[in-house]
Structure 1
Amino acid sequence: MKIKITLLLLLGFATQTIAQKSLEVVYKKVDSTLLTITIDYPPDYQPGRSYPTILFFFGGGWNSGSIAQFEPHARYFASRGMVCARADYRVKARQKTTPFESVADAKSAMRFLRQHADQLGIDEGRLIAAGGSAGGHLAAALAHLPGLDDPKDDLSISTAPQALILYNPVIDNGPEGYGYERVGERYTAFSPIHNLDTVSPPTLFFLGTEDKLIPVSTAKAYKKKVEAKGGRCDLHLYEGQPHGFFNYKNLEYFKDTVLKTDAFLQSLGYLEGKETLTQFLSER
């Protein structure tokens, strides 16, 4: 069962009614556009408890994309006892926007989850940002980019996640990177690899060695910079794999990346017990 509620109704929403359900909530309105977050809850969700949470952002070059991309990931990690949120955001094909609006929306989504953590069963101290390609850029932007906020946001609410899960992320937007033709000289404020000025949250980074958009050298440079600041960056390279290799349609690599993600989350204390991916897939 899926419940749809509006931002105006959220504050009066009874937490007890979201047990064992998927929740769709409007987190932002821009003109006539309503932006939503779809949230999946653990099957044994208990009202009044707070759960480690993953916020997913789909890929698509800030041009297109759908929250359906990370539906299998969200369902699996919800089955493992996490709250999993998938945020829609403005893209060029639907709203005629630029990548900068996409970043502003991602920040608004994270702030919304933090602002309503009690109502939504979210543990603010264990809030993870994840995404693929341009969605990976948005996840990293939450941790590393100090500006590009929506001016209507409450800027006192942090966008920084406690961990990052990045699937072939666009993390270099400089002259030699991806997206420079769209962001131009503003890349210095937009590109995560150019803004690694503080200690990064623990980061999991997946990349295929035949990715035509993100060179392996870029991933290695990112890892080196993160670790030079005292952070953790677990980089997993997949020989011969192209961009988007991790998606559900590529079941072998979907399974491998999910299992590595499960292990990463266990290492942070966000998950416990043996992975249950085989059982999950058999029940889909």
Structure 2
Amino acid sequence: MRLNLALIFLFIIMPDISLSEIKAPSSIIPYKKLQGGDLMLHVFGELEPAKIKKRPAIVFFFGGGWTGGHPKQFYPHCEFLSEKGMLAISAEYRTKGSHGTTPFQCVEDGKSAIRWLRENASKFKIDPNKIVAAGGSAGGHVAACTGIISGFETGNLDISSTPQALILFNPVCDTSSAGYGQKKIGDCWKKISPLHNISNETPPTCIFHGTADTTVPLTNAVNFQKTMKEKKIKCELHTYQDAKHGFFNYGRGDGSAYNDTIIKMKLFLEGQGLLAKEKN
């Protein structure tokens, strides 16, 4: 039942693509033990390469309203960045559909994934100072929370769960009644509202959002960027005219939005020194 629900959400998110067209990860490894089964990281790239000293890493979190979804959503993004030299990962995390959890546990798992990766950086030849969190919609919220929200920590607290940068696709930045998700989160919504918790330590951020998004309004991203600019923190906002929620996914429409967003994602990472610039 859990698998079927996850696949239903995957088809909602990526309606124009066959699962057979998506390249599979090179490995799937556990990062968090839970009753009933481990949470896994779907990894693109060799885990322990012999010829690499250190490399950057990125972790993607799927969308689905904290209710469902599947790591397959970001397999294409992972494949693209893996080919550019990053260890690219699409992470599992608990949702209401899979584990009966709330958005607070989603945030906890997101932080656990970043912390586990940094804790194992030496083993997997990752630069612990070049770890990026990314995601779409509710997964964008999870990613943003790893870089912004305090608390919801488990594991070795001596190791930071904060990434060096955030890449967010039509993300839930505001969980108030003016944004998205307050009814799902409840009265404590502000504790995990990225917009309301931005600080001087918030990582540089790149956001992609459609102007016709009726699920997560563009104002989420606009207000987030405004607050970031007030604190003099880099925040790119790329808007797409008449684009609806999920416009950025691989296989959506003619593919032009996907292609444009991954190129801008790459340029942002290069600009932040988190990805080596390609030689001409």
Fold-level similarity (TM above 0.5):
yes
The match for 2:258 is: 254
Label 1:204 to 1:29 Cα distance change in 2 as closer, same or farther (>3 A).
same
- 1:105 pairs with 105, 109, 112, which one? 109
The match for 2:276 is: 271
The match for 1:7 is: none
Q: Which residue identity is paired with 1:230? A: K
TM-score normalised by length of structure 1: 0.85
Structure 2 residue 76 is matched with structure 1 residue 66? no
5+ unaligned residues in a row in structure 1: which ranges? Answer: 1-20, 276-284
Structure 2 residue 75 is matched with structure 1 residue 80? no
The match for 2:190 is: 188
Q: Is the 8 A contact 2:48 2:125 kept in 1?
A: no
The match for 1:230 is: 232
The separation in 1 between residues aligned to 2:220 and 2:36, in whole angstroms, is: 39
1:4-153 equivalences under 5 Å are 22-41=26-45, 45-47=49-51, 49-150=53-154, 153=155
Q: Which residue identity is paired with 1:223? A: Q
Q: Is the 8 A contact 2:61 2:143 kept in 1?
A: yes
Q: Is the 8 A contact 2:134 2:168 kept in 1?
A: yes
How far apart are residue 212 of structure 1 and its match?
0.8
The match for 1:8 is: none
The match for 1:214 is: 216
Higher relative contact order (CA 8 A, sep 6+): 2
How far apart are residue 41 of structure 1 and its match?
1.3
The separation in 2 between residues aligned to 1:48 and 1:274, in whole angstroms, is: 18
SS of equivalent residue, structure 2 residue 38: strand
Cα shift readout 1:221-272 (whole Å, capped 9, x = no counterpart) = 1001111112000000000000000000121111010011111111122231
Q: Which residue identity is paired with 1:76? A: F
Cα shift readout 1:195-236 (whole Å, capped 9, x = no counterpart) = 012232111100000001222222111001111112000000
How far apart are residue 149 of structure 1 and its match?
2.3
The separation in 1 between residues aligned to 2:44 and 2:50, in whole angstroms, is: 13
How far apart are residue 46 of structure 1 and its match?
3.6
Q: Provide the aligned C-alpha RMSD in A.
A: 1.8
The separation in 2 between residues aligned to 1:44 and 1:188, in whole angstroms, is: 40
The separation in 1 between residues aligned to 2:158 and 2:26, in whole angstroms, is: 29
The separation in 2 between residues aligned to 1:217 and 1:179, in whole angstroms, is: 14
Structure 1 window deviating more from structure 2 (210-219 vs 234-243): it is: 210-219
Give the count of matched residue pairs: 253
Q: Is the 8 A contact 1:91 1:99 kept in 2?
A: yes
SS of equivalent residue, structure 1 residue 175: coil
The match for 2:5 is: none
The match for 1:243 is: 245
Q: Is the 8 A contact 1:203 1:232 kept in 2?
A: yes
Q: Which residue identity is paired with 2:278? A: G
SS of equivalent residue, structure 2 residue 80: helix
Q: Which residue identity is paired with 1:78? A: S
TM-score normalised by length of structure 2: 0.86
Q: Which residue identity is paired with 1:140? A: A
How far apart are residue 143 of structure 1 and its match?
0.7
SS of equivalent residue, structure 2 residue 129: strand
5+ unaligned residues in a row in structure 2: which ranges? Answer: 1-24
SS of equivalent residue, structure 2 residue 160: coil
Q: Which residue identity is paired with 2:150? A: P
The separation in 2 between residues aligned to 1:242 and 1:27, in whole angstroms, is: 33
